Amino acid sequence: MGRQQSFAKFLDTQTLISELNKYQERDTKEDDTYVIGIVQVIENTNGFKKGEYALVIGGERDGQRSPERLKESTGIENAERVVFIDCEYFWIRANGD
């Protein structure tokens, strides 16, 4: 158990928007895993292409271990992959260094 943040990747922007709309309609006050925001990828990196969008997920790490667990914990379906933000490379790139 523990808390952390992750990126959730989707097939395309329309799928991400559709899933986010469904998430916003849901009662999330009891969720331990939740959506923090949306980011646009600034550089090609492992699993992500420059210009595409990803959801930033936060909270209980167990709900972020896979697309299946993300669905169970947040109701968000159709994520292709979930990538933990625990790598120094992501933090450096996020800050533009």
What are the structural domains of the chain?
3-94 (3.30.70)
* Both tokens assigned to 43: 């550089």
CA distances (Å), origin 71, targets 11, 13, 44, 92: 16, 18, 26, 29
* Both tokens assigned to 29: 């006050």
What is the Cα–Cα distance from 70 to 62, expressed in whole angstroms? 9
Question: In this predicted model, what pLDDT tens digit does every residue of 9-36 receive, in sequence order?
Answer: 999 999 999 999 999 998 888 889 999 9
Radius of gyration of the CA atoms of the chain, in A: 13
Question: In this predicted model, what pLDDT tens digit does every residue of 24-80 receive, in sequence order?
Answer: 998 888 889 999 999 999 888 777 889 999 999 999 988 998 999 999 999 999 999
